[in-house]
Amino acid sequence: MKTRYSYGGDEHIFVEVDEEMSLRAFFKSLSMTEAVKASRIRGVTEICPANASFQIKFDPDIIAPADLMKELRSFEADAETAKQTLATRIVEIPVLYDDPWTNETLMRFRERHQDPTGTDLDYAARINGFSGVEDFVAAHSGAPWFVSMVGFVAGLPFMYQMVKRENQIEVPKYLRPRTDTPRLTVGHGGCFGCIYSVRGAGGYQMFGITPMPIYDPKQEISYLRDFMILFRPGDIVKFRGVDRDGYDAAVEAVDEGRFSPLIREATFSLEAFEADAAATNAALLEVLHG
């Protein structure tokens, strides 16, 4: 798809890099937004990156919309040829899959679901061709996930599974959104995984819950004292299944200020990933646990 530029009212320009999410679309969007930031264009007041697009807010009294549009278009050619390597982090997230809290919630909203007879995990396993929930969970936690966007709700990461397109987990959202979702639910909608940073409404399928807070506006949690939001675009997530005892122990450690997330610095190369996704993922996991 050719990059599409459009105006959003008097103070915004929206740039759609691609109609569907891919890591290559993300990197092109990232390169262009970094170029906007580095250029320090007078009148630009906000840069809002998304999964495969971005939006620029500007002051039309300082820069004319047509002039800003011209500036943005000038960054596209360089973004196409830029080296697609990212200095990032890989973060391990413990998950209690098939937990009692999301199970209680999903049962309250079964009439809004495609399959009222089972759980969200049952449904996801079946439509993705897995023999059962155990195999589905192994696939969900087996490969890392790329954080392509943080937002919609404060601190909520949208994550893209780092496997070949034909192997990606895909599950539609609920037919009608729920009015409740437990905080720290690990969810999935379309091709995107997420972690609900706060309790609230939602429509993603619910697979489990993590004991590890990812958003703390009071900045009282030990590893969120420097910044209230854990994730940033470009982070890589590896889910690790835990049992109920492991979950309870982690919650206790968080409450007592003893929980220390497993986070490692890493380098991600898009070219290397596209050439051999399995080898790239194996190298990332070696960095995490090496």
Average pLDDT over residues 6-25: 92
Classify residue 175 by its DSSP letter.
S
Average pLDDT for residues 116-124, to the nearest whole number?
96
Q: How far apart are CA 79 and CA 82, in angstroms?
A: 5
Q: Is residue 189 within a helix (H) or strand (E), and if so which, with residue range?
A: strand 185-189
Report residue 55 CA to chain centroid gap: 18
Q: What are phi and psi of 158, to 5 degrees?
A: -95, 130
Evaluate whether 191 touches 216 at the Cβ level (below 8 Å): no
Q: What is the reported pLDDT for 1? A: 65
Q: Where in the chain is the domain with CATH 2.40.100.10?
A: 87-289
- Model confidence band, residue 21 (pLDDT cutoffs 50, 70, 90): confident
Q: What pLDDT, on a 0 to 100 scale, did the predictor assign at position 20? A: 84
Q: What pLDDT, on a 0 to 100 scale, did the predictor assign at position 81?
A: 77
Please give the Cα distance from 77 to 263 (Å, whole number). 34
Please tell me the class of the 4-81 domain: alpha beta
Query: pLDDT of 259-289, one tens digit each?
Result: 999 999 999 999 999 999 999 999 999 999 9
The mean predicted confidence, pLDDT, of the chain is 95
Q: What's the pLDDT band for 195 if we cut at 50, 70, 90?
A: very high
Residue 19, pLDDT above cutoff 90:
no
Environment class of 183 (CB within 10 Å of its CB; exposed 0-12, middle 13-18, buried 19+): middle
CATH classification code of 87-289: 2.40.100.10
Residues of the chain with CATH 3.30.1360.40: 4-81
Split at pLDDT 50, 70, 90, the class of 80 is confident
Look at 21 and 126; give whichever has higher pLDDT.
Answer: 126
SS3 118: coil
